[in-house]
Structure 1
Amino acid sequence: MDAPFPSPPNLDRSTAQALVEWLDSLAARLSAEHATARSHGHEVSGQTLKNLDLYTNAALLFREAYDLV
């Protein structure tokens, strides 16, 4: 584990930004669906919460890897 942390693939800034925006939109849509379901008395499944975390964390990873604000 002494090797340097792997560098992200070379992507132009606009592609990386588009991926972040897509992941953010997925997270926002899923979050809105969760809120709607809860407002109707439905319980949100553990898998959908995992998906929300995945989208949110993936967007954060891209922001950090490509130095996006």
Structure 2
Amino acid sequence: MQRDVLTVLEAASTLNLHPETVKRFCRIGKLKGEKVSVGWLIPRTEVESFASTYQETRGRPANGRAHRNGGLG
């Protein structure tokens, strides 16, 4: 039986993100979670919703364009 809430580590694994990124997203309100004595608890539905809308932007050049030869930067 699945629990209704996930820990930071579980959410990070589900979202393929670093745990510190998940914590930061909780702190700034990008992910809705509850701070408890042992860390953050994040509703499973929140993680599922976030996963369906989150688009990772790592690795993109600052100007959003690639070089003519297909490389970045």
TM category, shorter: under 0.3
Higher normalized strand content (fraction of residues): 2
TM-score by structure 2 length? 0.25
TM-score by structure 1 length? 0.25
Higher normalized helix content (fraction of residues): 1
Question: Which has the higher relative contact order, 1 or 2, with Cα contacts under 8 A spaced 6 or more apart?
Answer: 1
